Amino acid sequence: MPRKAGIQKLSNELLKDILDHIEADPERSVSIDRRAYLSVESFRLPSPPLPSQAQDIGNFRLACRRFAELGIPYQFTRIATRFSRAGLQRLEKIASRPNLAKHTKKFSYLIPFFYVEGRERVGELLHHANGDLQTLDASFFERKAEAQRSIVRSGEDLRVLKKAMMAFRFLQHVQILRLQDEADRSLLDYLHENDDAALLLVDLKWTPACTHALRTVGEALADARSPFTRFSGPMMNPQSVLALKKGIPQTIPVLSERLTCLELHFDDPIDLNARMKDLSPLFKLTFASARNMQAVHIGFPSRQPLNLDLEEIFHNIHWEKLRAFGVQAWRLSAEEIISLARRYSKTLRGLRLRDVQLKDGSMWKDVLAMLRAEMELLDWVSLRRIDYSSHFDEVWGDSMEVPDYPPGGASDSDEDDDFHAHVDLEDDVFESEDEYSDGDSDERSNADTDHGPDANELALSPDTPASLPFCTCSRSSFPATADDLGDNGHFVVYQQRKLWEKWVIGRCPEHT
């Protein structure tokens, strides 16, 4: 019997440790345990592994059958599929191999804008673009438009999705993400700048794409009786969700009852209040069915906060297991926030109130006083870019773009408070930041500022970490009561909201 080569003598456990240095342990990154609610993963588009990493894992698996089996989880625990012929073909191949499919726990569906039928004449558009789009290849877009029509008409995507969801017996997390490559982005920018004439030739819409993705993925999950428990939709369109309500209403309770985590962000500001009000009955149906909910985030465009009562969406529903709750870009009264927080005073560990604008007659100090006094288990609170509704309107008015930095000239550095550096990796078991990071260390150095790279992230993770030790100083500068917090009832600056976050959970503002 031939002697084993050096590396083949190593145990499987040691080989897995080596692979972990190439690609983070896929099993740990998607499993769910007792602190899963503290770090619901980011909505950023999943980046492919670096070419060297993918090649190293691939080469490792080619060495021998034993190595091929050991490397499978590092390639197939997380599957990202583009809505394209090639993407669907790859997905079907994975689904056809049970030894691969059994490892898949996260499925990300990457959907491009859909071409409006009859307005996909990219060649004509490029001809009339006076050189502005000279780097683009018309045939690339024409092939993409034809492929979209063919896939939708044939139902090929639904067939493959059903096969995949049936094969992914241990699926935990489903994401629907909007996809744009550089060529798409250039074309969309041109259409936006020249919409009157250009849209007669070419028009791309997100609404039909989002609608189609929701319908097909929802039908496939229901048909397969998928065990998934988490759903993320960071770029949802209200019209698409309304279409889902009309198209497959019977599947919503079936899918909702499995949910432990739901992350939705609606990015279309057009008629937002009216459309979300139309969706109110659907939210009630969904939330009433989701009895096992542990983490929920509902967000809207920062540039146009929703102006509906909180209970128009949440309907006074109580989830016994809820651990993390987040909303973004909402005009609310202090009493609305206090009432909801009290509902979960004995279970909630994380609270996110990002871009929340308090209405006239309310003060943040009242909210903060209640959170500090009554929330028994609260480990972290996020108040990024909170303000008062009247001040928000004074500063931004009808502007469609709200910068990441806060109004009022706040500091742009907060190098001591990057919460990712403090999260307990043994318990923080959702996707690691590395899966999404672009590797820009300079950006990461002030990740927790109101204008930093995490400023628009929707992950339900603590901006103020809970793992820091309590300070034993005299706390001479620590506000004794809410009246000492400096709340003027008109505007909130960056330094205030950071102090308030720490004050609510009892952290020293100077030494944490």
Instruction: Give pLDDT, residue 111.
Output: 96
Nearest to 164, CA basis, from 236, 234, 216: 216
**How many CB atoms sit inside 10 A of residue 453's CB?**
19
Kindly state the average pLDDT of the residues 282-286.
Answer: 93
User: CA torsion sign, 434 to 228 to 210 to 81?
Assistant: positive
Mean pLDDT value across residues 331-357? 96
What separation in angstroms does the CA of 200 have from each of 54, 138, 205?
A: 43, 16, 14
Beta strands 202-205 and 173-178: pairing type?
unpaired
Start-to-end C-alpha separation, the chain: 61
- Mean pLDDT calculated for residue range 439-455: 41
Q: What residue has token string 């408070």?
A: 417
Burial of 11 (0-12, 13-18, 19+ CB in 10 A): exposed
The Cα 113–Cα 483 span in angstroms is: 50
List pLDDT tens digits, range 227-253: 999 999 999 999 888 877 766 667 788
DSSP state at residue 118:
E
Residue of higher predicted confidence among 271 and 14 = 271
Q: Does residue 361 register a pLDDT over 60?
A: yes
What letter would DSSP give residue 483?
Answer: G
Q: Is the pLDDT of residue 159 over 70?
A: yes
Higher pLDDT, 138 or 438: 138
**Weakest-pLDDT range from 56-65, 113-122, 216-225:** 56-65
Q: Return d(Cα 426, Cα 445) in angstroms, integer.
A: 23
Query: Are the C-beta atoms of 260 and 230 separated by less than 8 Å?
Result: yes
- Written as one letter, the residue type at 318 is H
**pLDDT-derived band at 416, boundaries 50, 70, 90:** very low
CB burial string 226-257: b at 16+ within 10 A, e below: bebbbbbbbbbbbbbbbbbbeebeebbeebbe
CA distance 363 to 379: 23
Check residue 41 and give its pLDDT.
41
DSSP, collapsed to helix, strand or coil, labels residue 257 as: coil
Residue that the structure tokens 């103020």 belong to: 464
Nearest-angstrom CA–CA distance, 139 and 431: 37
Residue in the block written with tokens 């990002």: 354
What the block records as the tokens of 68 is: 């091929």
pLDDT tens for each residue of 285-339: 999 999 999 999 999 999 999 999 999 999 999 999 999 999 999 999 999 999 9
- Residue 377: pLDDT band (50, 70, 90) is very high
pLDDT band at 370 (very low <50, low <70, confident <90, very high): very high
In angstroms, rounded to a whole number, what is the distance separating the alpha carbons of residues 8 and 404? 51
Write the CB contacts of 39 (distance below 8 Å, at least 6 apart in sequence).
Answer: 423, 428, 429, 430, 459, 460, 461, 462
Does residue 2 surpass a pLDDT of 60?
no
Q: By C-alpha distance, which of 108, 103, 2, 110 is closest to 61? A: 103
pLDDT for residue 130 is more than 80 = no
Contact 358, 329 (CB under 8 A): no
Phi, psi of 235 (to 5 degrees): -135, 50
The pairing of strands 261-266 and 295-299 is parallel
Please tell me the predicted confidence (pLDDT) of residue 432: 29
pLDDT one-digit tens code per residue, 5-50 = 666 666 666 666 666 656 655 555 443 333 333 343 444 444 555 5
Per-residue pLDDT, 404 = 44
Asked if residues 349 and 377 have their Cβ atoms less than 8 Å apart, the reply is: yes
**What mean pLDDT is reported for the chain?**
78
For residue 26 the two structure tokens come to 């896929």
Q: Is the pLDDT of residue 428 over 60?
A: no
Per-residue pLDDT band at 419 (split at 50, 70, 90): very low
Within its chain, how far is the Cα of 429 from the centroid? 16
Residue 277 has pLDDT above 90, yes or no: yes
Contacts 24+ apart (CB under 8 A), 97-101: 98/167, 99/69, 99/72, 100/72, 100/75, 100/76, 101/76, 101/164, 101/167, 101/168, 101/169
Check pLDDT > 70 for residue 398.
Answer: no
Higher pLDDT, 202 or 162: 162
Q: Do residues 357 and 306 make contact, with C-beta atoms less than 8 angstroms apart?
A: no
Beta-strand ranges (E) seen in 251-379 are 261-266, 295-299, 324-332, 350-358
SS3 of 58, please?
A: helix
R_g of the chain, CA atoms, integer Å: 24
The whole-number pLDDT of residue 180 equals 86
Res 388: pLDDT: 97
- 109: helix, coil or strand? strand
